[in-house]
Amino acid sequence: MSHRIIVDVMGADNGSGVVIRGAVAGARRSGASLLLVGNRTVIQNELEDLKTKGLDIQIEHADTVIQMNDPPGTVMKEKNDCSMAVAVRLLKEGRGDALVSCGNTGALFTCSSLVLRRIRGVRRAVLAAVVPLDNAFVICDAGANTEATPEMLVQFATMGSIYAKDLLGYANPRVALLNNGSEENKGTEVQQKAFDMLRQSRLNFIGNCEGRDLPADFCDVVVCDGFIGNIALKTIEGMGKLVGRVLERIFKKNPITMIGYLFTRRSTNAVRKQLDHTEYGGAPFLGINGVVIKAHGSAKEKSVTAAVRQAVNCCEMRLVEKISEEIAALRTDGEGNDQQKG
Amino acid sequence: MSHRIIVDVMGADNGSGVVIRGAVAGARRSGASLLLVGNRTVIQNELEDLKTKGLDIQIEHADTVIQMNDPPGTVMKEKNDCSMAVAVRLLKEGRGDALVSCGNTGALFTCSSLVLRRIRGVRRAVLAAVVPLDNAFVICDAGANTEATPEMLVQFATMGSIYAKDLLGYANPRVALLNNGSEENKGTEVQQKAFDMLRQSRLNFIGNCEGRDLPADFCDVVVCDGFIGNIALKTIEGMGKLVGRVLERIFKKNPITMIGYLFTRRSTNAVRKQLDHTEYGGAPFLGINGVVIKAHGSAKEKSVTAAVRQAVNCCEMRLVEKISEEIAALRTDGEGNDQQKG
């Protein structure tokens, strides 16, 4: 059965055109239908220039946009008619099976949590970003919650493991806690308690992970609060960009080094592509009652395409149902078993 | 006048030999005298194989070692006769002008803070690591304090600025707060309050800095707590290592790409060296009543050499006196003006 993916085409750094073109390509590759949300005229103009024959594309008009620097709360108040809020409500009403947005992360998180609600038993939803280095791994939380309790971290690990297993195909994902040292007594009280709880869990917990372990195929799921996850993820992105500049410097130094480039072009470009974060797909919010994918604000066409395909995969893998089952099991085990906060 | 640098030769990952050889090379280059602390037999054996003619090298025997996984507190209790504790006491007694150690960071921080005491008005000392990317910058705190108040962050910024100015030569160092977004309302209450205080300070505060800005010549001093600083610094180190592997992959793929290496060898090796953290020098604890340099646990000979030279520079620049003056001025301004905690 074809899935319908709702795409918020507004609020991306590179404009609506990139998002629309990426979404159409994603629909074509995955066989999905689309429901594009944003300024109708802009969308129609863009679609006229594209091959859309055979595709099922609907449009829902929304005129206002939530900006990157708007406080997240405005999406539910002053700007609750913005394309993002409209898109989330359409998902709630069942007009689509999943949602992709390149907009303001905090606003998307707030709006999704409040409109779609969290899965029963989930304290806080989490942004699960995949970092495709030598070993692709999931950062949970990549930026949704600036602080996290040990109980939240255990839930992040649980949800991240399901994602790593079903979407990345790891049979028994290795879970590690991002910490300031490898020894078990490292970090603040939060990390120390989380370490104990993770060790006692049914997860494949392999211990603490340091920043330098991240690019070294150390684990498949990295658990941390969203502040730390944001710093780690963006530092990796920034260093990836530096590698691009470094390669330029190596090869463009003089005519001799440029000859070197001719001999290594293919492998050089493969590496550059692997480390370019704008090539990444999107990151789902796990723990929400619905599939919501946050694509990068500065996403290129290709990454929107990847995000649409990811949305389809999440639907096919029944991600929401699986998380619901695992969180229920966690509660039966007594882990993270206290009342859910509003 | 020649400075005497006390070097704790024990507790490094690569053994005492590396530390001793690095220290001797550092003494030769900077004209410093040495006071080596550790097992006397080991030190004497190592020195026999080195050219030490014309150098003033003293030895102080200490037999026990604080290990990397020892809780920091043990340095003051069970292991207060270890080489690190002996070295710190020798500095206190004026037997040397500065101290270099590759040992356990937490133990060195605890021991230095308690034995040497903090400079009057300093809430907590801070580990200031220099990251020599395209633009060398200082991370304050690189790992000494797992948590920090806004007042502490302002002091870290003040001390880091002095270091960036006097040791790195930046006329008016750009200070930025490491945060999960560039907008001023980002982060937790700690970052939000620190942002306001930094803006009102006399520092050259340029706003928030994201992880991806770190390698992009964005600022000269990055302020954060030691947990976040540790994650950021080690992620940079890990990505630097990845670049080394990436270059191998580019050039060693097949005979054709290996020809490419021949044409780019010099620039490739320069880049590899720049991104290799074992080439870095050490990081001083700023705010301590004395010059204490923490060299990397896995330091190579060259980085110990660099750390010894750095120790000499700190003495020549009168780093401790300058920090003392600036912190006193900060207190007069009313910034960070509350009672000092034990």
Q: How far apart are the first and last CA of chain B?
A: 36
pLDDT confidence of residue A278: 65
Per-residue pLDDT of A306-332, as tens digits, reads 999 999 999 999 999 999 999 998 877
Burial B325-336 (b: 16+ CB within 10 A, else e): ebbeebbeeebb
More confident residue, A244 or A183: A183
Instruction: Tell the residue number behind the tokens 């603490």, with chain if given.
Output: A208
- Distance, CA of B210 to CA of B179 (rounded, Å): 6
Of the candidates A85, A69, A109, the one whose C-alpha atom is nearest the C-alpha of residue A226 is A109
Predicted TM-score (pTM) of the model is: 0.89
Which of A133, A185, A263 comes nearest B257 by C-beta?
A263
- Distance, CA of B201 to CA of B198 (rounded, Å): 5
- Distance, CA of B106 to CA of B110 (rounded, Å): 6
Region B85-100 average pLDDT: 98
Residue A341 has pLDDT above 70, yes or no: no
Name every chain B residue with its beta carbon within 8 A of the beta carbon of A264: 250-251, 253, 256-257, 260-261
Could A268 and B261 be called an inter-chain contact, meaning their C-beta atoms sit closer than 8 Å? no
pLDDT confidence of residue B278: 65
Residue A336 has pLDDT above 60, yes or no: no
pLDDT confidence of residue B335: 52
Per-residue pLDDT of A143-198, as tens digits, reads 999 999 999 999 999 999 999 999 889 999 999 999 999 988 899 999 999 999 99
Say if CB A311 and CB A99 are below 8 A apart: yes
Tokens linked to B211? 């992880």
Contacts of A273 (CB under 8 A, 6+ apart): A279
Size of interface A-B (CB pairs under 8 A): 174
Surface of A (313-332) touching B: CB under 8 A: none
Name the strand (E) or helix (H) holding A57.
strand A57-61
Q: Which of A121-135, B138-152, B234-248, B305-319 shows the lowest per-residue confidence on average (mean pLDDT)? A: B234-248
pLDDT confidence of residue B281: 77
Query: What pLDDT band is residue B73 in, cutting at 50, 70 and 90?
Result: confident
Phi, psi of A286 (to 5 degrees): -90, 140
pLDDT confidence of residue A68: 82
Which of B227, B232, B239 comes nearest A188 by C-beta?
B227
Minimal-distance CA residue of chain A relative to B179: A231
Helix (H, G, I), strand (E, B) or coil at B80: coil
Name every chain A residue with its beta carbon within 8 A of the beta carbon of B71: 185
Name every chain A residue with its beta carbon within 8 A of the beta carbon of B256: 263-264
pLDDT confidence of residue A335: 52
pLDDT confidence of residue A334: 60
Residue A240 has pLDDT above 80, yes or no: yes
Residue A280 has pLDDT above 50, yes or no: yes
> From the CA atom positions of chain B, what is the Rg in Å?
21
Could A236 and B180 be called an inter-chain contact, meaning their C-beta atoms sit closer than 8 Å? no
Q: Is A269 on the interface with B (CB under 8 A)?
A: no
pLDDT confidence of residue A177: 98
Residue B78 has pLDDT above 90, yes or no: no
Say if CB A122 and CB A287 are below 8 A apart: yes
Query: What pLDDT band is residue A25 in, cutting at 50, 70 and 90?
Result: very high
Query: What pLDDT band is residue B334 in, cutting at 50, 70 and 90?
Result: low
Q: Which of A40-44, A108-112, B63-67, B203-207 shows the lowest per-residue confidence on average (mean pLDDT)? A: B63-67
Q: Nearest CA of chain B to the CA of A235: how many Å?
A: 4
Region A5-18 average pLDDT: 93
Per-residue pLDDT of B121-177, as tens digits, reads 999 999 999 998 878 999 999 999 999 999 999 999 999 999 999 988 999 999 999
Surface of A (76-115) touching B: CB under 8 A: none
Q: What's chain A's average pLDDT?
A: 90
DSSP label of A134 = S
Name every chain A residue with its beta carbon within 8 A of the beta carbon of B241: 212, 215-216
Q: Which of A112-126, A255-269, B284-298 shows the lowest per-residue confidence on average (mean pLDDT)? A: A255-269
Q: Is A273 on the interface with B (CB under 8 A)?
A: no
> From the CA atom positions of chain A, what is the Rg in Å?
21
Query: What pLDDT band is residue B297 in, cutting at 50, 70 and 90?
Result: confident
Phi, psi of A50 (to 5 degrees): -110, 155
Alpha helices in chain B (DSSP H): 16-30, 40-48, 83-92, 105-115, 150-166, 189-200, 226-251, 255-274, 301-316, 319-333
Residue B58 has pLDDT above 60, yes or no: yes
Surface of B (213-232) touching A: CB under 8 A: 213-216, 226-228, 230-232
Write the secondary structure of B19-47 as one string of H (helix), E (strand) and C (coil).
Answer: HHHHHHHHHHHHCCEEEEEECHHHHHHHH
Query: What pLDDT band is residue B338 in, cutting at 50, 70 and 90?
Result: very low
Name every chain A residue with its beta carbon within 8 A of the beta carbon of B244: none
Q: What is the DSSP string of A273-298?
A: HHT-GGG--EEEEETBSSEEEEE-TT
- State the ipTM, two decimals: 0.87
pLDDT confidence of residue A71: 85
- Distance, CA of A81 to CA of A62 (rounded, Å): 7
pLDDT confidence of residue A261: 75
- Distance, CA of B200 to CA of B197 (rounded, Å): 5
- Distance, CA of A167 to CA of A169 (rounded, Å): 6
Alpha helices in chain A (DSSP H): 16-30, 40-48, 83-92, 105-115, 150-166, 189-200, 226-251, 255-274, 301-316, 319-333
Residue B155, exposed/middle/buried by CB under 10 A (0-12, 13-18, 19+)?
buried
Contacts of A305 (CB under 8 A, 6+ apart): A22, A23, A25, A26, A29
Contacts of B101 (CB under 8 A, 6+ apart): B7, B8, B11, B84, B87, B108, B292, B293, B294, B295
Could A212 and B253 be called an inter-chain contact, meaning their C-beta atoms sit closer than 8 Å? no
pLDDT confidence of residue A279: 64
Q: Nearest CA of chain B to the CA of A128: how many Å?
A: 16
Of the candidates A134, A253, A325, the one whose C-alpha atom is nearest the C-alpha of residue B249 is A134
Q: Is B134 on the interface with A (CB under 8 A)?
A: yes
Helix (H, G, I), strand (E, B) or coil at B2: coil
Minimal-distance CA residue of chain A relative to B274: A246
Q: How far is CA B115 from CA B73, B90, B178, B288, B325, in A?
A: 13, 10, 31, 10, 21
Which of A146, A215, A235 comes nearest B187 by C-beta?
A146
Per-residue pLDDT of B282-296, as tens digits, reads 899 999 999 999 998
Region B84-94 average pLDDT: 97
pLDDT confidence of residue A123: 93
In one letter, which amino acid is B89? R
Could B213 and A238 be called an inter-chain contact, meaning their C-beta atoms sit closer than 8 Å? yes
Most B-contacting residue of A188, A242, A256, A259 (CB-CB within 10 A), to test interface: A242
Name every chain B residue with its beta carbon within 8 A of the beta carbon of A215: 238-239, 241-242
Q: Which of A52-56, A220-224, B263-267 shows the lowest per-residue confidence on average (mean pLDDT)? A: B263-267
Q: What's chain B's average pLDDT?
A: 90
Residue B279 has pLDDT above 80, yes or no: no
